[in-house]
Structure 1
Amino acid sequence: MSEVNVHNAPPVPSLPYNAYNTAQPNYPPVQQTRQPMFREQSAGAYSAARQKMLNRRSVRHVELQQGNLVLDVQVPSHIVPKTMQPTDEMTKMRYTAATCDPDDFMHQKYTLRPYLYNRQTELFIVMTMYNEDEVLFVRTMNSVIKNIAHLCGRNRSKTWGPEGWKKVVVCVVSDGRNKVNKRTLQVLALMGVYQEGIAKDSVGGKDVTAHIFEYTSSVVVTERGEVSQGACPIQIVFCLKEQNKKKLNSHRWFFNAFGPLIKPNVCILLDVGTKPTKTSIYELWKCFDKHSNVGGACGEICVEPGRGCSLILTSPLAASQNFEYKMSNILDKPLESVFGYISVLPGAFSAYRYRALQNGPDGKGPLASYFKGETMHGGGANGAGLFERNMYLAEDRILCFEIVTKKREGWILKYVKSAKAATDVPTTVPEFISQRRRWLNGSLFASIHATVFFFRIWTSGQNFFRKIVLQIEFIYNAIQLIFTWTSLANFYLAFFFLVSSATSDSSNDAFHFLSNGAGKDVFEVFLKLYLSLLFVVTVCSLGNRPQASSHDGCKDYGSKWTYSLAIILFGFCNIITLWCAGYTIYLALPHTLAGWKDIGHLIETNKALRELVISIAATYGLYFIGSFMHLEPWHMFTSFIQYMFLLPSYVNILMMYAMCNLHDVTWGTKGDNGSAKDLGGAKKVKGEDGKDVMEVELPTAREDVDQLWAAARSALQQKPVEEKEHRDAATKQADHDRNSRTNVVLTWVGTNIGLIVVFTSTAFTNWVNKHVETTSDSNFNPYLSFLFFALAGLSAVRFTGSFLYLLFRLFGH
């Protein structure tokens, strides 16, 4: 899943931390027996139908179209629309065998149907996938179909209406033919956008780089193979890449190969598995239509809660991420939208104005910078350093920065609250840690890059007022960046000072009854436990993967259980910290009605009470107020406790693992693969008239195509047998990368340890006692006071931005 910008506002012990139906008639059923069928029988029937079709193919001579192999083949008769006069785009599927790099697609005279039909495309939607199953694919595709049907139903719109589907093109890009899920291919086959036996792996001796299938489909398919008539036709381009070259390469096919032909107004980016609501795509498009200076926009990414919120209620990890996403959408995204620069538009669901993405005459620009990362994460680094390669792990952040700072154009980025999309989140510790490793490393270095080059906003073409506002945002982001870098130390110091106050020998301390005996011993144990956990997490992060895997029958559990235990113990440490803070306030407050009459004087004189109240009000108070202000308070009741328990792990485990694995600039477990060369080739021969033609094997019997379609439908009706994923072997890293990683980790850990040593030292304590006026709360460390007030200030900025966003939205700005 692509990165979601999440700026947490942690509780008292820490500083802000950057992690980041309309009913449709059933389609006439295919004539087939309804007898029970086992999974093996269903799969066997599909294989038999496929083999029969392949055996009955015949050799045909096909003329090249402008030097390229393009085939128009009949689609299964079951999906040809019966309610309208079908045209070629609805009766024939178009196959193009691309043998070029995506950047050369248009220059090599390849074409697409919307280009040939001379249609004006308003929305160009890309769905990127790797090996996602049919359930995830159908979830996204059917949501997109509902959105297009909504556009066609807007009869009073100047742009949309019954023929609105002609202004929308849906592009599905699959990353690697050998990696694609076979059941997902069967869903595409049922929609008419894919057929077995058509594709070729070479044309005239040239290797095919991408198989492009085009069809205007009028059916809706479920993950169980149920087929029904859709509300409107959908123009679909399915690009099946021959090799697995990562998501950036998929986007290069979308933007650089198909974009110049389609020439859309707005591009929508979706990951397969993300489910936008019925009107979300329209809401995003409306933002561009209403504001001519908007270069990019995003909606609200929320956690897929499961049926009846079952996932949120049963998985603490999912619940904590739900809270994290919600608070980002309530406090952070609105703030950045008011400024005009959203640091990251999530690749899972975002939109860009195509014109804003284009490079300048010199070849430099947003897309050029965006695709730099493609060559950095493969086998060769092309001279790029470790900093740059980590920075391009967050390529969507780079793209946002490039759009806003694009010379003399003045683009801004917007958050559209009414555009919502649900996505799956990791529910296991290994998946969660691995995902956040890429997010954190990419966001940290991309943030440093944006902060260092902040001066580019002054040549961006923004008006003077907007430049001032953006300059304020870059200062705010720089402060956030400093606290992110020192978050490890800040979290521990808050824990240390609060717990130390509880174990103080001072007779005036609010916890004097715990200064001796078992209570003090318990707190001392937790102080030592915290440091021990940091040491264990560091060792595990340097050597072990969190994933569990198996190899040659021997199980290797990595550090899965170690990380899980550390998460639980860190959670207990946070409980102790919050209890210390809460009970300090409780004992300091008056317990009689008469005492409350002089509460103002008490807060003025009691420093610890004053700072704790300000800090708690600036976090929990603004959480509640902001959530109710946006009319979305439910996560405060379903996810808040889980988030608080897991919060220390966000800082101490996720940050530690990310920093200790800076040398790993891969995207996860995906590995490059070669071409299988199992499709057969198209040979160049001389035709009867002496012209060069291509000799290809193609299906000739219409009934074979229909039977294979019916077999695919039957296969989908049976649940698949789950297969364990076999992870590719880890790529050996260069010594230079490991040394660079070591230097960065030493600098980061050294900075944080330095803060801890200084502010917990006897010298600092003596200085405090000498220069700070002795009060009843003299054990309250000045650095803790600084943390609390910094938290309050940053939280106030976030809340103000959130309020202004709602105010501007109310008046239509």
Structure 2
Amino acid sequence: MEGVRKYEPLVDDSASVSTYIPRDIGGRRVTRSGTVKQIALKAGNFVVDQPVSKHVLLHATQTTGDEFTHMRYTACTSEPGEFKDNYTLRQRQFRRHTKVALVVTMYNEDDVLFAKSMFAIMRNIAYLCSDACTYGWGPDGWKNFTVVIVSDGRSKINPKVLTLLGVMGCYADGLAKSTVNGKNVKAHIFEYTTQVAIDKELYPRTDPKSPMVPTQVIFLLKEKNAKKINSHRWFFNAVCDVLDPEVTFLLDVGTVPSKESFYHLYRAFERTPNVGGACGEIKAELGSGWKNLLNPLVATQNFEYKMSNILDKPLESVFGYISVLPGAFSAYRYKALQGAPLDTYFRGEEMHGGADIFAANMYLAEDRILCFELVTKQSDNWLLRYVKDASAETDVPDRLPELISQRRRWLNGSFFASLHAVWNWTKIFRSGHSSGRKAALVVEFAYNAINLGFSWFSLANFYLAFHFLFDVADDKNETNPFGSASMVIFQVVRQLYIFAIVCIFVSSLGNRPQGSKTLYHGMVVGFTFIMCLMLFLGFYTVYVSIKVAVNDIEEQNTSLFSYFFKNAAFRDLVVSLCSTYGLYLFASLAHLDAWHILTCMLQYLLLLPTYINIFMIYAFTNLHDVSWGTKGDNAPDLGAVVVKTTADGKQVAEVEMPLTEDDLDDAYEIFAKQLTKQREEMHDKKKEAVNPVTQQEDGFRQFRTRVVLFWMVSNALLIILFTNEMIVDKWFPKKEGSVNPYLTFLFWSVAFLSFIRFVASMIYLKGHYQLKIAERKGGRGNGFADPEMGQVGSPRSSSLPQP
């Protein structure tokens, strides 16, 4: 080594940031000494405890103890289910009780997404240990929390993420090997308790005055790419089998939980012993100053997420069964998952590409299967809860092709998983729920079945709404805003509508959205124009109806209340408005979260036909596509660990390792320099690689064809039935002063479902505020009127339970 390496700290006082840049290595690659060392195998396993560079601990609050001074590498040659029998983890050796084990699933996400998620995780753990947390774990509470980062395939991981992990002390080059004594390595496991947090600007937060606490990290790098569900298998069947945590948290890289989210999620399990799973609010990332809302696709998704969290999740939480706990941010009681729930969940590993196309599509939404199996688990009474105070931001697709591809998987997975749940609703009677809870769950399954039916016929229902609005406008009275040209306009727009539907069907059969961007953007513009026309006709009809109602009330000298029940058309109009726009507004105000009404509702309404027509048609015409992108996994060989037996009978492995302090510092210099480059380049845009379209089995395509044909025919029959004047006049005669009978049916059906959503949302909100009041008073309340409640720990308890 030439000279003495010096480091210049670059400190940002406003952000309490420190980092170190090597002065003398320039652009050259620093090589290690290449010293070969004999490593004694532990129970026949290749396990190495390597010291970390002194720079990792330069500003650390804790600098003694193996978990801070050494990183452990384990070359795992076993399958996940055999891990516990052959290996152990440091938390087990330290005899620590794990309250929460968090899995962060990763594929090839970039360094910025990883940094945002990891920084938020460490901030949450710090809050659990802070004085600000009323029911916190105390200053040593970080020992109860373990973060497990599972990367899906060594050839797939983004090298920039390895740089961040290296700066944190959780990864080192040169340790991993492909084989151990002739056995292929299945996973590379790095264990370290880090005190370095890297923020979203890629600055290491190492200042001792920062609120961060040590974080136990297990970085599990899978040798092969085998899908996210396999990553969860490694977490549950390998890591959790050793740690035996109370609660497991699930998080995707790119999802950023708020500072107190982990606390609120864990408290949901602590308060109520039969809560088996919980989730918080998923928010769309809006950017600084909500600049992302300038993109109508982001605004639409934001509105969709908000209303789901205001109406749908509270409704399901009140009943006790949330149909889906999002895999991007959710939590489960580990004990509740044992047995049938996890066994059924992991069947999805074998479904994709298999012979059962129904199950393959169903397992595109494997988290829905897990929720169903958990609530209906035999002889148990597990419930699922929505925790409003726990929230997390996620980046949503901001380009149309990516959004269409995402919704293809979401729509197909949710449809078939929902169909599976509704079809097997009787399984609720095998559970250990009380009679009252079973009755409530039966009501929820009936509600879900009705929604599933409306979803199936949504294509026809939207066209009928379009048809009837123009039908009203064509009346020769003052509700006609176009005069004599109304019939011509209707025929032109109708042909445009049908042409757009045909184009979508044709383009969806075999074409990727990324390859037909211009066509899909044109279809979106066309449907947006049609929706503008529909909104204009709708509001004009409302204006005229109110005007007529006022005149009638004055002429008949009656009250508004009496007129409401006498005039069917006016009554249907009021019910329709209140069950849609009124519901959105009032429920949002009640939840004290209504900005999306002003900023996103118009975009949502304009893009509604895109969601109904384009997204659904593309999804159903691609039912045969259940691929997950696991091809092309060819990582370079890392070398082999050759085991030798010494004269005294011990097994040792000869490997090349960095031994001296300079060796360790050289390796850290490379990570530090690379992190600086990544920080400078983090705003550069890159073109994404396009994966080749994979060949699907003929049987999958036949299944797709049959489903699509049945879907098209059933929706077409509904349209024909209620647009044929002879059939309508004979079978569904319209009463004087009323609208089309099917439109009346839709109005009142939507009103009925909306009433259920609103009442359940208010019940949830009442329980939520009762819970917050009880928390402030130090009480136990859970806000859901559950008959059993767990003991709540005393505030600021810092004692750690013994294993």
Normalised to the residue count of structure 2, the TM-score between the two structures is 0.90
What is the distance in 1 between the residues matched to 2:550 and 2:622? Answer: 57
Specify which of 249, 259, 268 is matched with residue 230 of structure 2. 249
- 2:595 alignment partner, one of 629, 634, 650: 634
Partner residue of 1:620 out of 581, 595, 617: 581
Q: What are the residue-to-residue correspondences of 1:97-116 with 2, within 5 Å?
A: 97-107=75-85, 109-116=86-93
Task: Note the 1:764-803 alignment, pairs <5 A.
Answer: 764-767=727-730, 771-773=733-735, 775-777=736-738, 780-803=739-762
2:428 to 446, 451, 457: 457
Give yes or no for the alignment of 1:683 onto 2:642. yes
> CA 1:716/1:316 → structure 2, altered by over 3 Å: closer, same or farther?
same
Does the 8 Å contact 2:63/2:69 carry over to 1?
no
Residue number among 528, 535, 538 corresponding to 1:571 in the alignment: 528
**In the alignment, does 2:282 pair up with 1:311?**
no
2:624–2:703 Cα contact (<8 Å) kept: yes
Report the equivalent of 1:726.
Answer: 689
Deviates further, 679-688 or 444-453: 679-688
Deviation at 1:704, TM superposition (A): 2.6
Letter of the 2:695 counterpart: K
One-letter amino acid matched to 2:669: A
Q: How far apart, in 2, do the equivalents of 1:591 and 1:511 lie?
A: 10
SS of the residue aligned with 1:516? helix
Letter matched to residue 266 of structure 1: V
Contact 1:510 1:584 in 2 (8 A): no
The equivalent position to 2:347 in structure 1, one of 372, 375, 379, is 372
CA distance, structure 1, for counterparts of residue 411 and residue 599 of structure 2: 26
Is the aligned partner of 1:87 residue 2:65? yes
- 1:600 deviates by 4.3
- Residues 600 and 514 of structure 1: is their aligned pair in 2 closer, same or farther, counting only changes over 3 Å? farther
Q: Distance in 2 between matches of 1:206 and 1:106?
A: 18
Structure 2 distance, partners of 1:490, 1:158, is 50
Alignment correspondent of 2:264: 283
Would you say 1:444 and 2:415 are equivalent positions?
yes
Q: Note the alpha carbon deviations across 1:312-356, whole angstroms, 9 max, x for none.
A: 1x1000000000000000000000000000000001100000000
Residue 17 of structure 2 contacts residue 203 of structure 2 at CA under 8 Å; is this kept in 1? no
Paired amino acid for 2:272? H
Identity of aligned residues (%): 46
Pair 326,23 (structure 1): closer, same or farther in 2 beyond 3 Å? farther
**Deviation of residue 691 (structure 1)?**
2.7
Paired with 2:133 and 2:706, the residues of 1 have a C-alpha distance of 62
Which segments of 5 or more consecutive residues in structure 2 lack a partner in the other structure?
1-11, 772-782, 784-803
Question: Aligned residue for 1:482?
Answer: 453
CA gap of 1:206–1:589, structure 2 versus 1, over 3 A, is same
Q: Which residue of 1 aligns with 2:800?
A: none
Equivalent residue for 2:468?
Answer: 497
- Partners of 2:18 and 2:445 in 1: how far apart? 59
1:605 Cα deviation (Å)?
4.3
Q: 1:132/1:500 Cα in 2 relative to 1: closer, same or farther (>3 Å)?
A: same
Change (3 A) 1:118 1:539: same
Per-residue displacement from partner, 1:749-801 (whole Å, max 9, x unpaired)?
Answer: 111111011111132233168x443x245xx2111110111011111110011
Deviation per residue, 1:109-140 (Å, 9 max, x gap): 21110011111000101111111111100100
Q: Which residue of 2 aligns with 1:202?
A: 179
- Aligned with 1:301: secondary structure? strand
- Corresponding letter in the other structure for 1:586: Y
1:350 corresponds in structure 2 to: 330
Mapped contact 1:225–1:713 kept (Cα < 8 A): no
Q: Find the counterpart in structure 1 of residue 613 from structure 2.
A: 652
For residues 456-479 of structure 1, the C-alpha deviation after alignment (integer angstroms, 9 at most, x for no partner) is 111110011111111100010010
Distance 2:19 2:621 in 1: 56
Residues 31 and 272 (structure 1 numbering): CA distance in 2 closer, same or farther, change over 3 Å?
A: closer
**Which of these residues, 715, 719, 735, is aligned with residue 756 of structure 1?**
719
Matched, 1:581 2:559: no
User: Displacement of 1:591 after TM fit?
Assistant: 7.0
> Which residue identity is paired with 1:784?
L
CA distance in 2, matches of 1:490, 1:83: 63
Residues paired across the two proteins, number: 748
Please say if 1:182 is aligned against 2:159. yes
How many angstroms apart in 2 are the aligned matches of 1:448 and 1:592?
Answer: 44
Counterparts in 2 of 1:29 and 1:584: CA distance versus 1, 3 Å: closer
The 5 Å alignment of 1:205-604 reads: 205-222=182-199, 223-229=201-207, 231-312=212-293, 314-359=294-339, 365-377=340-352, 380-381=353-354, 383=355, 385-504=356-475, 507=476, 509-512=477-480, 514-517=482-485, 519-547=486-514, 558-590=515-547, 597=554, 598=558, 599-600=560-561, 602-604=563-565
Q: Is the 8 A contact 2:60 2:206 kept in 1?
A: no
Deviations 1:565-602 (A, max 9, x none): 11121112112122222211211223797755544454
Moved more, 228-237 or 736-745: 228-237
Cα pair 1:671 1:728 within 8 Å, conserved:
no
Map of 2:4 onto structure 1: none
CA deviations 1:8-41 (Å, max 9, x no partner) are: xxxxxxxxxxxxxx9998476536349xxxxxx9
- SS across alignment from 2:346: helix
Alpha-carbon distance between aligned partners in 2 of 1:375 and 1:699, rounded to the nearest angstrom: 41
Say which is worse superposed, 699-708 or 649-658, in terms of deviation.
699-708
Q: Take 2:136 and 2:19, find their aligned partners in 1: how far apart are those partners? A: 35
Which residue type is aligned with residue 363 of structure 2?
Y
Residue 126 (structure 2) pairs with residue 149 (structure 1): yes
**Superposition deviation, residue 82 in structure 1:** 4.7
Distance, in Å, in 1 between the alignment partners of 2:444 and 2:270 is 26
Which residue number corresponds to residue 98 of structure 2? 121
Give yes or no for contact 1:331–1:802 (8 Å, CA) kept in 2. Answer: yes
Deviation at 1:391?
Answer: 0.3
Amino acid paired to 1:95: Y
CA distance in 1, matches of 2:521, 2:723: 29
1:702 aligns with 2:673: no
SS of match in other structure, 1:444: helix
Amino acid at match of 2:506: V
For 1:417 and 1:605, locate their aligned partners in 2 and report how far apart those are by CA, in whole Å: 42
Shift of 1:609: 2.5
State the secondary structure of the residue aligned to 2:20. Answer: coil
* Alignment-derived partner of residue 41 in structure 2: 64
1:665 pairs with 626, 630, 643, which one? 626
Q: Secondary structure at the match of 1:678?
A: coil
- What TM-score results when the alignment is normalised by the length of structure 1? 0.89
Amino acid at match of 2:197: V
Name the CA distance, whole Å, in 2 between partners of 1:693 and 1:220.
36
1:719-749: CA deviation from partner (whole Å, max 9, x where unpaired): 3465422222111101111111100111111
- Distance in 2, matches of 1:722 and 1:794, equals 45
Contact 1:201 1:677 in 2 (8 A): no
Q: 1:73 to 1:495 in 2, by over 3 A?
A: same
Deviation digits for residues 36-67 of structure 1 (CA, Å, limit 9, x no counterpart): xxxxx98x54xx12xx12xx222222111111
Retained in 2: the 8 A contact 1:242–1:675? no
Distance 1:625-1:513 versus aligned 2 partners, 3 A rule: closer
Deviation at residue 253 of structure 1 after TM alignment? 0.6
CA distance in structure 2 between the partners assigned to 1:257 and 1:194 by the alignment: 20
- Deviation, structure 1 residue 100: 1.5
Question: Measured at CA, do residues 23 and 246 of structure 1 come closer, stay the same or move farther in structure 2, by a change above 3 Å?
Answer: farther
Pairwise CA RMSD of aligned residues? 2.1
Structure 1 partner of 2:113: 136
Distance 1:741 1:192 in 2: 49
